[in-house]
């Protein structure tokens, strides 16, 4: 009854989301849906209160949300207490941020990834904006991430079927696109942008299907998780696909969506591919460097899609050395700008950066 009472006291919910019969029982939504709807409404209210500086009201909604979570886990609200939640002191960083003496980097030892090094390599100041100030305009990246993860999910599932001997045709992949596409990453984008991105995956999937179905290598791993260590920093990541040639050599494949005009001049210097090579060697089940590592730009014209690196142990070690230097520099808070026309052009912080180069 508590639940129904809560629902009934929410006018917005009743007006928009459900119906009640004459006995005031909810009749059109399942319990899980109801919980989700109540949760969504509380989140919306908490955000509204936060943006209008009504912190006490926002805390009330957060306590409600915590109670909802408790109910979902325990199927009862009995025994719920908000005490721990409400015993929080202000964080030390807030004083440091307010005094301009911030000392904590916006990442921890546990969450360094290749992408962060890649950003540091492009421009340390960009890294500083994003991971030290945490000034990430997240939404700008959401569509690209959403599109990329949909593609990866579809081809991973298809490759698993391929491992079991079933080769999908292009229609199967296109049907997967219809069922897996989600608008979540496009909430702040135009419908045209969303449609354009979805359409762009169709030729990409056809391209993948053509390549994968005629590929003589055996797939030995998909989305392989790994952790390698640079100094005492663990770097986590996933390898999209690892294959083995008929001669027993390994080949790393990394899919890229977007980048239609991408050019890579010195593929052997790629930090990402060299990190993957280190990971393959360090994994007991593989135990040696791959023979080749490649980027597969699925949206580029057919004859320009592959950037292949003939793996060279000297280059792998050079990449390790470079990563060690970056770790030292990040620890010493070396975040000088490295402005370059191309990098600044696509940098999310160009509008606020004094060092930005403009064409």
Least distance to ligand SF4 from the beta carbon of 123, Å?
3
Instruction: Determine the Cα–Cα distance for residues 270 and 265; give it in Å rounded to an integer.
Output: 10
Least distance to ligand SF4 from the beta carbon of 125, Å?
4
Q: Which is nearer to ligand SF4, 224 or 330 (CB)?
A: 330
- Strand partners of residue 250: 244
Instruction: Determine the Cα–Cα distance for residues 161 and 146; give it in Å rounded to an integer.
Output: 23
Q: Which is nearer to ligand SF4, 159 or 344 (CB)?
A: 344
Q: Which is nearer to ligand SF4, 126 or 252 (CB)?
A: 126
Task: Scan for tokens 């939404």, then name that residue.
Answer: 139
Regarding beta strands 306-310 and 233-244, do their DSSP bridges make them parallel or antiparallel, or are they unpaired? unpaired
Residue 358 CA neighbour count, 13 Å, CB half: 6
How far from 231 is each of 21, 113, 326, 328, CA to CA, in Å? 65, 14, 11, 9
Q: Which is nearer to ligand SF4, 3 or 350 (CB)?
A: 350
Least distance to ligand SF4 from the beta carbon of 134, Å?
15
Least distance to ligand SF4 from the beta carbon of 46, Å?
33
Least distance to ligand SF4 from the beta carbon of 345, Å?
9
CB count within 10 Å of CB 284 equals 5
Q: What are phi and psi of 19, to 5 degrees?
A: -125, 150
Q: Which is nearer to ligand SF4, 186 or 335 (CB)?
A: 335
Helix 313-331 to helix 271-282 angle, to the nearest 10 degrees? Answer: 110
Rg of the chain taking only CA atoms, in angstroms: 25
Q: Which residues contact residue 28 at a Cβ distance below 8 angstroms, ignoring those fewer than 6 apart? A: 18, 19
Regarding beta strands 218-230 and 306-310, do their DSSP bridges make them parallel or antiparallel, or are they unpaired? unpaired
Q: Which is nearer to ligand SF4, 83 or 359 (CB)?
A: 359
Q: Which is nearer to ligand SF4, 106 or 290 (CB)?
A: 106
Name the site residues for ligand SF4 (rule: CB under 6 A).
123, 125-126, 337, 339, 343-344, 347, 349-350, 353, 355-356
Least distance to ligand SF4 from the beta carbon of 280, Å?
31
CB count within 10 Å of CB 235 equals 20
Least distance to ligand SF4 from the beta carbon of 336, Å?
9
Answer yes or no: are the C-beta atoms of 354 and 144 closer than 8 Å: no
Q: Which is nearer to ligand SF4, 78 or 354 (CB)?
A: 354
Least distance to ligand SF4 from the beta carbon of 243, Å?
35
Least distance to ligand SF4 from the beta carbon of 109, Å?
25
- Strand partners of residue 238: 225
Q: Which is nearer to ligand SF4, 255 or 326 (CB)?
A: 326
Helix 191-213 to helix 170-180 angle, to the nearest 10 degrees? Answer: 150
């Amino acid at each position: 009854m508590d639940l129904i009472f809560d629902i009934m006291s929410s006018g917005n919910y009743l007006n928009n989301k459900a119906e009640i019969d004459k006995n005031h029982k909810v009749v059109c939504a399942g319990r899980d849906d109801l919980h989700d709807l109540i949760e969504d409404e509380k989140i919306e209210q908490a955000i509204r209160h936060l943006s209008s500086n009504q912190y006490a009201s926002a805390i009330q909604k957060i306590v409600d949300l915590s109670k909802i979570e408790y109910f979902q886990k325990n199927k009862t609200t009995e025994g719920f207490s908000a005490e721990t939640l409400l015993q929080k002191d202000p964080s030390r960083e807030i004083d440091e941020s307010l005094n301009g003496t911030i000392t904590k980097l916006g990442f921890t030892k546990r969450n360094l990834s290749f992408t962060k090094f890649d950003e540091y390599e492009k421009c340390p100041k960009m890294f500083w904006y994003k991971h030290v100030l945490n000034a990430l305009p997240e939404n700008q990246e959401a569509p690209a991430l959403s599109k990329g993860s949909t593609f990866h999910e579809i081809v991973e599932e298809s490759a698993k079927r391929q491992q079991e001997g079933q080769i999908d045709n292009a229609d199967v992949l296109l049907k997967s696109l219809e069922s897996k596409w989600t608008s979540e990453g496009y909430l702040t984008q135009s419908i045209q942008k969303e449609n354009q991105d979805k359409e762009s995956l169709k030729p990409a999937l056809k391209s993948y299907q053509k390549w994968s179905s005629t590929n003589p290598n055996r797939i030995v791993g998909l989305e392989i998780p790994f952790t390698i260590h640079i100094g005492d920093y663990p770097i986590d990541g996933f390898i999209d696909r690892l294959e083995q040639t008929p001669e027993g050599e390994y080949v790393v494949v990394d899919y890229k969506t977007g980048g239609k005009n991408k050019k890579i001049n010195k593929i052997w210097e790629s930090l990402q591919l060299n990190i993957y090579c280190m990971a393959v060697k360090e994994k007991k089940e593989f135990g040696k460097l791959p023979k080749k590592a490649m980027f597969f730009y699925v949206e580029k014209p057919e004859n320009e899609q592959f950037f292949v690196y003939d793996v060279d142990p000297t280059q792998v070690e050079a990449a390790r050395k470079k990563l060690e230097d970056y770790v030292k520099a990040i620890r010493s808070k070396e975040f000088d700008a490295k402005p370059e026309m191309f990098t600044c052009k696509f940098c999310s912080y160009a509008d606020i950066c004094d060092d930005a180069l403009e064409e």
